[in-house]
């Protein structure tokens, strides 16, 4: 326990891929809770690709992080001091603490961590990424037994949830991941029927060939979380009436590739294949969290749904872990131990 607040602030807006100089490490006095609030000592916080979007000063679904403000994140930790009725010191809670050692939050924005669950599970497999995969697959993807699903970043916390749920629902599951190690993990840990290393394919056409072999009956659901080369490769392989839940486009967060206009070809696929492409932001569907937890929680507890995490040690290492994550440097859910 420390009596100094340590936090990572946004020093400037990144151009393309973030670099270390875009962040600053700040210290200060511990904040004090007001009425109805609690001070949380953060043990872990989550790093997720969506945070890259918050670093831009562009109109989006959420306010950008201000220059000098603490980077946003879901965290987990213990209540150090409480001025809220019913929330006692020592309670293990989760909430939007930011990249920080401590945070003051309204008690209404803090959720106790369920008993019998690893505290960091609420940041990943049973948190926002897990809910994202579960909601997007079931509500938009509408999987049918015997169909084929493709998901990229397949060993990440969203992709691995999507793949395991789809496999359990009787689909053929095809992973796209970066490197041989992640491909092996996709098959061995998350049970994908096939895994393709996108780094082994220089262009979309080559990647498409590998995907066509792995998905001989075409692709019914492409769970979209990357955009870029994978999207370009998959689009012509989509089956009629295919579905594409769109929850991210990490390949484009750092700027676009130097290609010709790929919009006409994409639109042609949407039309000719009668695709449904639907964007979603999991914050809109947070009310489904109890349904998700009652469906997936027991399957995680029984070990039917696997999850892995990468832990960066020390809050000072959060920027480098985030930068590495955007480049695919992690193998599991990336968290930071403060």
Binding region for its own copies (CB under 8 A): 59-61, 224, 227, 231-232, 240, 246-249, 252, 256-257, 259-264, 266-281, 284
Work out the angle between the directed axes of helices 289-301 and 128-135 (0-180°, nearest 10).
Answer: 100
Least Å distance between CB 114 and its own copies?
A: 29
Closest-CA residue to 156 (of 338, 308, 1, 320): 308
Least Å distance between CB 280 and its own copies?
A: 5
- Look at strands 4-10 and 148-152 and give their pairing: unpaired
- Look at strands 172-177 and 111-112 and give their pairing: unpaired
The CA-based angle 203-209-212, given to 5 degrees, is 135
Return the number of the residue (105 or 231) whose C-beta is nearest its own copies: 231
Contact 330, 321 (CB under 8 A): yes
- Residue 109, helix vs strand vs coil: helix
Least Å distance between CB 268 and its own copies?
A: 7
Least Å distance between CB 291 and its own copies?
A: 19
The CA-based angle 13-284-120, given to 5 degrees, is 70
Return the number of the residue (10 or 247) whose C-beta is nearest its own copies: 247
Return the number of the residue (61 or 111) whose C-beta is nearest its own copies: 61
Return the number of the residue (2 or 205) whose C-beta is nearest its own copies: 205
Least Å distance between CB 156 and its own copies?
A: 17
Return the number of the residue (25 or 280) whose C-beta is nearest its own copies: 280
């Amino acid at each position: 326990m420390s009596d100094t607040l340590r936090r990572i602030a946004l020093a400037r807006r990144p151009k393309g891929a973030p670099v270390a100089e875009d962040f600053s490490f700040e210290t200060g006095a511990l904040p004090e809770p007001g009425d109805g609030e609690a001070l949380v000592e953060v043990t872990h916080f989550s790093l997720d690709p969506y945070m890259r979007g918050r670093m831009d000063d562009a109109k989006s679904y959420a306010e950008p992080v201000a220059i000098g403000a603490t980077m946003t994140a879901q965290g987990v930790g213990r209540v150090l001091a409480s001025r809220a009725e019913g929330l006692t010191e020592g309670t293990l809670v989760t909430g939007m603490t930011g990249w920080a050692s401590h945070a003051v939050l309204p008690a209404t924005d803090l959720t106790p961590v369920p008993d019998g669950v690893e505290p960091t599970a609420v940041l990943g497999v049973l948190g926002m990424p897990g809910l994202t995969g579960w909601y997007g697959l079931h509500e938009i993807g509408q999987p049918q037994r015997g169909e084929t699903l493709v998901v990229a970043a397949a060993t990440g916390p969203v992709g691995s949830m999507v793949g395991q749920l789809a496999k359990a629902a009787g689909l053929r599951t095809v992973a796209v991941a970066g490197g041989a190690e992640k491909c092996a993990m996709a098959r061995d840990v998350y049970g994908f029927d096939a895994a393709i290393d996108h780094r082994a394919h220089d262009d979309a056409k080559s990647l498409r060939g590998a995907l066509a072999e792995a998905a001989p009956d075409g692709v019914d659901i492409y769970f979209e979380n990357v955009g870029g080369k994978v999207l370009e490769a998959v689009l012509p392989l989509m089956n009629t009436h295919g579905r594409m839940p769109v929850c991210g486009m990490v390949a484009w967060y750092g700027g676009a590739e130097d290609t010709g206009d790929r919009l006409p070809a994409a639109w042609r696929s949407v039309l000719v294949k009668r695709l449904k492409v639907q964007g979603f932001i999991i914050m809109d569907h947070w009310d489904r969290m109890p349904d998700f937890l009652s469906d997936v929680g027991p399957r995680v507890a029984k070990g039917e749904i696997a999850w892995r995490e990468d832990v960066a040690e020390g809050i000072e290492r959060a920027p480098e872990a985030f930068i590495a994550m955007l480049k695919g440097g992690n193998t599991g859910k990336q968290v930071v131990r403060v």
